[in-house]
């Protein structure tokens, strides 16, 4: 359906029409954008989900149409509308702020076209799932403070931070800050912005309510947002006016908040601006105390997230971002990314094509935070670690069949990969190990529920497998018949992990079991010799010497299988003493630094 953008008409029209059937006005803006559905309406105009016909993938975008209902507010409304376009042009290069595509006047109407963020607001998330935990609030603060640090560095104050203006992006579960219509530039010589009161009263800092917003007015609004998400109670009710103090702790109803986080929130919502946090850096310092790291450098990874349609074509490209660190001991250049704490349904649904009985029953698993290598371990990385002192067993210096320093190492057994982890742990003083099967699938899915993190099917354009086979309605494609350099397809999942589908099978810690009956639900590896203390080197050594189970878990598919064997839920086994030219591994660290 194509909606007419003429405010006096607003007629829906069948797809494919170029002109409105009722008023005859063109349905395409600038000959390329057309409105598909109304997704918002207010006093200043309407917002549409739209399609960009100029791009081959016909991606969604957002059209904002300026059409105020109250003539008395026209001048101020137009100022705010144009101001939003200006702010997005300044700020839209940040991966967690919508990008501005166009701002123009056509048919005597002002329009703004921007990036479409596919996700849900925190208001809806709160309604659907209930109050946020401390861990969720900490993650939210980290995400939003880093966005605000960028916004404030451009001398911009958002002035309307609230749950409605924060969207959790479906592709990577990152938070995106939207609606910069209230934002204002703060001149370098000014300490405050004096002007019309703008913002939502429940979340508005006292000084902003008087038209004198400061940078830390945004921090106040962010703090109030956190209090609302922790309690699901209106901020008006969380503040005792007669006592002049916040009473949010009285409304927690058993939701635990540590003293450390409580102090941070109290300072964020301090009414006196001078007593409040003055910058995002101050909050982050209290939220995440800096740890001394000899060999690890904190990194922010930027990348593009690709979604495929049912035919295997690229349906959408979105900006992605994740944080992690670089483990560079001995020049290893091992990129690790943060995998956030969360829960997911492990296994495949009954109706998933290619499903086997060992992929069920589907069950909910809670996974603690950890870090995972962005790619499978490469031959160059293997050769560095193979030269380190032996811990339990010897290692071949160059075991791979398909040679290439940036290709994944293969022909390594499960025992070889454990020895690799032990040597790396000894060299760095930090525990590295194989992922549990639950950690592997959770990291692969990255918040998705489709057979592949790309969507309903797979394409050789984004993964290395036997392209002679198809999955669902996908098309046939290239069959490379060998491994390829890690990251070379430039198609990571929403958390920044490359080649989770195809290239090489990857070892997991777990013993093989024919179903999930009796499987752990806390993210631990399922090992028959005991699931205790899995996060220490001594346990890894004992596990390496334990010969009670011969078969170990493989995940991810490889360069030769058909796509159904590369699904997120697919699992296989192999003798732990053997290697093959299609089996490699990646490592995890139980906690990010």
Provide the CATH number for the domain around residue 379.
3.90.1580.10
pLDDT number for residue 503:
98
The total of other beta-carbon atoms located within 10 Å of residue 528's CB is: 12
Query: Are 123 and 110 members of one domain?
Result: no
pLDDT exceeds cutoff 70 at 6:
yes
Decide if 364 is inside a domain: no
Q: Tell me: the pLDDT tens digits for 54-85?
A: 988 899 999 988 876 666 656 666 666 677 67
Decide if 346 is inside a domain: yes
Q: Distances from the Cα of 43 to the Cαs of 4, 67, 74, 181, 419, in angstroms?
A: 19, 8, 10, 13, 65
The total number of structural domains in the chain stands at 3
Q: Is the separation of the CB atoms in 239 and 219 below 8 Å?
A: no
pLDDT number for residue 56:
87
Q: With H, G, I as helix, E, B as strand and everything else as coil, classify residue 259.
A: helix
Is residue 160 annotated as a catalytic residue, yes or no? yes
Q: Which residue, 115, 144, 176, sits at the end of a domain?
A: 115
* Cα–Cα distance measured from residue 81 to residue 44, given in angstroms and rounded to the nearest whole number: 8
Number of H helices, E strands in the chain: 12, 27
Q: Which residue, 92, 115, 138, sits at the end of a domain?
A: 115
Phi and psi, residue 429, nearest 5°: 75, 10
Catalytic residue among 108, 128, 160, 266: 160
Give the DSSP letter of residue 291. Answer: P
pLDDT exceeds cutoff 60 at 357:
yes
Query: Are 137 and 263 members of one domain?
Result: yes
Query: Are 397 and 315 members of one domain?
Result: yes
Q: Tell me: the pLDDT tens digits for 303-343?
A: 999 999 999 999 988 888 888 999 999 999 999 999 988 88
Q: Is the separation of the CB atoms in 268 and 277 below 8 Å?
A: yes
The residue segments making up the domain with residue 306 are 296-359+369-589
CATH number at residue 91: 3.30.200.20
Q: Which residue, 72, 98, 115, sits at the end of a domain?
A: 115
Query: Are 460 and 542 members of one domain?
Result: yes
Percent pLDDT > 70 in the chain is 91
- CB burial class (10 A; 0-12, 13-18, 19+) of residue 490? exposed
Query: Are 41 and 137 members of one domain?
Result: no
Q: With H, G, I as helix, E, B as strand and everything else as coil, classify residue 14.
A: coil
pLDDT number for residue 293:
38
pLDDT exceeds cutoff 90 at 91:
no
* Cα–Cα distance measured from residue 35 to residue 28, given in angstroms and rounded to the nearest whole number: 8
Decide if 463 is inside a domain: yes
* Cα–Cα distance measured from residue 562 to residue 399, given in angstroms and rounded to the nearest whole number: 25
* Cα–Cα distance measured from residue 361 to residue 481, given in angstroms and rounded to the nearest whole number: 34
Q: Tell me: the pLDDT tens digits for 98-115?
A: 888 888 888 878 888 989
Out of 66-70, 180-184, 370-374, 416-420, pick the least confident. 180-184
Query: Are 423 and 443 members of one domain?
Result: yes
- pTM beyond 0.75, yes or no: no
């Amino acid at each position: 359906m194509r909606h007419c953008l003429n405010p006096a008409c607003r007629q829906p029209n069948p797809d494919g029409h170029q002109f409105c059937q009722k008023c005859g006005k063109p349905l395409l803006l600038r000959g390329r954008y057309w409105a598909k559905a109304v997704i918002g309406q207010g006093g200043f105009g309407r917002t549409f989900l739209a399609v960009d016909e100029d791009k081959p993938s016909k991606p969604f975008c957002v059209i904002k149409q300026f059409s105020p209902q109250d003539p008395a507010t026209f001048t101020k409304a137009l100022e705010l509308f144009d101001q939003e376009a200006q702010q997005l042009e300044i700020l839209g290069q940040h991966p967690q702020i919508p990008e501005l595509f166009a701002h123009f006047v056509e048919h005597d109407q002002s329009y703004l076209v921007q990036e479409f963020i596919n996700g849900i607001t925190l208001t809806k998330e709160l309604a659907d799932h209930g109050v946020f935990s401390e861990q969720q609030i900490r993650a939210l603060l980290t995400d939003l403070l880093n966005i605000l640090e960028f916004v404030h560095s451009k001398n911009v104050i958002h002035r309307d931070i609230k749950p409605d203006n924060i969207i959790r992006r479906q592709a990577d579960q990152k938070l995106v800050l939207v609606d910069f219509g209230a934002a204002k530039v703060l001149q370098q010589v000014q300490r405050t912005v004096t002007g019309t009161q703008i913002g939502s009263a429940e979340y508005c800092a006292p000084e902003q309510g008087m038209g004198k917003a400061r940078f830390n007015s945004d921090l106040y609004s962010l703090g109030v947002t956190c209090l609302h998400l922790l309690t699901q109670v209106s901020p008006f009710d969380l503040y005792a006016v007669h006592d002049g103090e916040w009473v949010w702790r009285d409304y927690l109803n058993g939701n635990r908040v540590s003293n450390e986080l409580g102090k941070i929130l109290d300072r964020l919502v301090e009414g006196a601006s001078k007593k409040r946090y003055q910058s995002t850096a101050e909050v982050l310092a209290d939220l995440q105390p800096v740890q001394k790291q000899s060999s690890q450098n904190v990194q922010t990874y930027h990348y593009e997230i690709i979604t495929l349609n049912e035919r295997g074509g690229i349906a959408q490209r979105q900006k992605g971002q994740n944080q992690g660190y670089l483990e560079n001991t001995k020049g290893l250049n091992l990129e690790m990314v943060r995998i956030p704490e969360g829960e997911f349904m492990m296994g495949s649904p009954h109706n998933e094509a290619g499903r086997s009985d060992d992929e069920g029953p589907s069950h909910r698993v809670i996974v603690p935070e950890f870090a995972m290598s962005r790619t499978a371990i490469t031959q160059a990385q293997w050769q560095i670690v193979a030269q380190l002192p032996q811990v339990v067993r010897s290692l071949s210096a160059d075991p791979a069949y398909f040679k290439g320093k940036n290709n994944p190492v293969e022909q390594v057994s499960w025992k070889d990969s454990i020895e690799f982890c032990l040597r790396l742990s000894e060299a760095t003083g930090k525990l590295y190990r194989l992922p549990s099967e639950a950690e592997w699938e959770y990291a692969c899915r990255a918040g998705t529920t489709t057979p592949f993190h790309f969507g309903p099917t797979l394409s050789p354009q984004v993964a290395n497998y036997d392209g002679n086979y198809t999955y669902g309605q996908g098309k046939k494609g290239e069959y490379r018949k060998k491994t390829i350099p890690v990251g070379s397809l430039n198609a990571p999942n929403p958390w920044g992990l490359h080649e989770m589908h195809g290239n090489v099978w990857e070892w997991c810690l777990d013993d093989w079991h024919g179903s999930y009956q009796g499987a752990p639900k806390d993210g631990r590896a399922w090992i028959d010799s005991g699931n205790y203390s899995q996060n220490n080197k001594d346990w890894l050594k004992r596990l390496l010497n334990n010969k009670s189970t011969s078969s170990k878990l493989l995940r991810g598919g490889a360069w030769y299988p058909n796509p159904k064997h590369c699904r997120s839920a697919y699992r296989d086994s192999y003798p732990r003493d053997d290697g093959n030219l299609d089996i490699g591994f990646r490592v995890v660290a139980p906690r990010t630094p």
